[in-house]
Every structure is written in structure tokens, then in C-alpha cells.
Amino acid sequence: MELIIIIVSLILSLVVLPILWLMYKTRSPKEMEGIPGNLGWPIVGESFSFLSDFSSPSGIFSFMNKRQKRYGKVFKSFVLGRFTVFMTGREASKILLTGKDGIVSLNLFYTGQQVLGPTSLLQTTGEAHKRLRRLIAEPLSLDGLKKYFHFINTQAMVTLDQWEGKKVHVLEEASTFTLKVIGHMIMSLEPTGEEQEKFRSNFKIISSSFASLPFKLPGTAFHRGIKARDRMYEMLDSVILRRRNGQDFQQDFLESLIMKHSRKSDAQEDENKLTDKQLKDNVLTLLVAGHDTTTAALTWLIKFLEENPNVLEQLREEHREIIANRKSGTDLTWSEVNNMPYTAKVISETLRRATILPWFSRKASQDFEIDGFKVKKGWSLNLDVVSIHHDPKVFPDPYKFDPSRFDEHLRPFSFLGFGNGPRMCPGMNLAKVEIYVFIHHLVTRYKWRALEKDDSVQPTLVRMPKNKYPIIVESL
């Protein structure tokens, strides 16, 4: 073990640190002198403060909030090897998320770029991005989701059947539920069995690697994530081969892509169709995007309901009324899911209050001006969403959980629960359906009590309760 530590230290000293030092010395833009802020120490900048605040109860918001109080809505920093301008407010939100006239592009961290692959929807731009979104939009539309409704409803009930009288960690249970749903939708994966276990095991490693340091050394989270990604792609290669040979026909998202939009070779005449590499990169992208955020949203929602009994009772009343008005049968129906107005407000308030994605990262594709500051092409730009969601001018008493805020329409770009603009979350409808279904069965069957009062968040890109939110569950 000591030998490994020595070797890693040498590599860091001889390779990584000189590279970071070179980046710091040669890429520090003189134009940034007009932006308030502090680039921090040589080489590391403010990375230690950034990572430390990541694990604090308020997460990365504490890093940004302290500097906003000192420098204002726009400030500069040097974190994780990047010269970055942090900004907040509706004007910044509109500019960065609409990307009007191509002034910005998406800006994933290095680890995310490497794990998801270069042809992922999250890394493509322009016409390639528009085409991929069109392919993805069909199965994730409300009409496209209808055929998966029965599976989602069944899995929610199966999951909750196991909760009665037990201690459960909501985050783990929500993770299992959402992963089974997205795995079934994309590649008809059975909810139990060896394939499901392999799938879940690899996916968890991949998911945890996104917030890791970008050192691809054996034993690091990043290296484990790349290896798990490769194993996941081997599984997909096997599925794609069987589908193309007619051995395993399924009516799922992958089948639709293979039948309509994929090519078997790199032939020039098929350049408008997807290669196997593109298929795999975007299946993985959908798995990641369709799992982590919905898992977090469901967990925070259940936590906020327990902390706000008046909201819980009003929500429970809406769902009891749904059951009372049911003319025949006992199962939740598609039409009922699309008529839950108070539940929709509770979801929106959860996304505002928790702010699951605390910032959106972009890169300037050209020079432009914002709040009187000049931004130069190539700069990394981070939009602070937590500050936008907790602006007292838009949301009075912003730390209060109050779904009635959404009784009226809000001004554009003041609520970013699912993002906005051309990169708005493509899985928004799926996430809502999953939450509607799960919450319906939960509040009509159970009451629960939190076992810990801990508001800390995990040091991950998606904000999740650090303690996984343990509860004791009882029947109503």
C-alpha cells in the first residue's frame, strides 16, 4: 500500500502538477482582470475550497454564495484545472441556457467527457445535437411513455410492498426503482436476475465516477468508471448483435434506434444514421440522465413531505380523491396520472428547493457581454442555479417549502427544475410519470418517520442526501 502511495505521489509530482502549473501560467487570460474574484493559489487555485464545500450541508452553493457576497453576481475562480466565471440571475440564465446565436456550448468536466464518449448527446452541438434530440424525443414523449406505464406502475408497487414496517434508505430504494424502469425502457432488461445485477453493479460505478478527480490510475474512481463503462458496452454489443440477427426482437428504445436509425458499417451512404459507437454512447447517456436526477428528486420529495405535514396531508387528499372517483378497477390509470395538479406543484417546489443540479456548465463559443462584464471566447462559465431558485425577490421566504408558489406562472428563467432552452432535460416527462406513480402509492398506503435529521449532501454532481435518508415505514 505504501509503495502505491509513493508511486502515485511521484506521478502527481512529475506529471500532473507541472501540467497544471503550465496551464495556470500560460492560459490565465489577461482579459479576466476585469472580472472580480480571486484565482486562488498557484496550480490548485480554489480547488480545495471548491471540493470542501461540495460536501457541506448546502453543497457547492456555499462556495458560490460566499463569493457572491464578496464580489457580486459575476466572479472568477480557478477550480479543477479550469479558469471559470461563475454567474447567476435571470439574464445569465437566459443567455447561457438558450445559447442564442451559438454563443455558448455545453462544457462537461473531463471525467464526464471520457466516460460518456464523444458522440453522446451531452457532447454534440449544432445539427448533430438537434438530430439526436429528435431521435430521443419520440420514446420519451407522453405518447411514447404510455406503453411503459404498466411496467412503471407495477415496479412502484413491488418496491413499496417491501417497505411495510421496515427501516429503508429512500435513496437506495428510489435508485433501484428508477434504474429498473430506465433499463426496461431502453433495452427490455428484466427487473430481476443476473443481467439486472450486472447492469446495476456497473452502472453504480459509472455514476460515482463523474465527480472524481481526472486521474486514470488503477484503483481510482475514474479508472473504475472507465472499466465499468467498457463492461456495460460489452453487454450492449451482445444485445445489439442479437437484435440485428433477429434473435431477440423487443419493442423498446434500443430496438427503435437499431431498426430506424442505425447502420451496420461506416459506409458513406449511411452517414445520417448512427454507428454502434453512437448507439452505445447515447444509451449510456440516457441511463445516466434518466436515473440520477429522478432518484434524487424522489428522495428529496419524500424528505420534504415528512418535514411539512400540512403539504403531505393536502397531497394525500388529492390522491384519496383520485381513488374515490375511480369508476371501475383498482389500478392507477394513465388518465389519472395526467390529472394531479397539486402533485405537479409539489414536484416543482421540490426541484426548486433541492436544486438537484446546482449549476449548469457552459463554454463561451464567442465573445459577449453580461451584466457589464466582457466574456471572452473559450472561457468556462458556470450558472449558479441555487441562487436563482432562492432569490427572495422571486420566491419570498425562499427556504420555506411552499408548493403554492406555483399557483401562478413564473417569469421565464426564474425556475430551472428541468433546465431550459435547447438542452432542456429530454427525460422530463419520464421523470414526472415515475414520481407521480410512486408518490400515489406511497401516500395512499404509508406514513413514515425520518430516523436522522441531516441536511448534508453527497459530494456528487447531482445533489442527494448524504445519509441516503433512512426512514421507518408504517401502514396507514
Nearest residue to 172 via CA among 353, 296, 358: 296
Distance CA 259, CA 159 (A): 33
- Tell me the chain's radius of gyration from C-alpha atoms: 23
> Among all chains, which residue has been given the C-alpha cell 458556470?
382
Distance CA 65, CA 45 (A): 18
Distance CA 61, CA 72 (A): 14
Q: Cα-flanking dihedrals φ and ψ of residue 300, to 5°?
A: -65, -40
- Residue 425 annotated as part of some ligand binding site: yes
Q: Provide the grid cell at 455.
A: 441536511
According to DSSP, the β-strands at 104-106 and 368-370 are unpaired
Distance CA 86, CA 325 (A): 50
In 410-469 the beta strands, taken as DSSP E runs, fall at: 446-450
Q: Enumerate the H helices of 105-209 as residue ranges.
A: 110-116, 126-140, 142-145, 149-161, 170-187, 194-208
> Among all chains, which residue has been given the C-alpha cell 456528487?
460
Yes or no: say if 86 and 384 are a contact pair by the CB < 8 Å rule: yes
Nearest residue to 375 via CA among 92, 108, 126: 92
User: Partners of 105 in the beta sheet?
Assistant: 363
Residues annotated in the binding site, as ranges?
Answer: 425
Residues annotated in the binding site for heme, as ranges?
Answer: 425
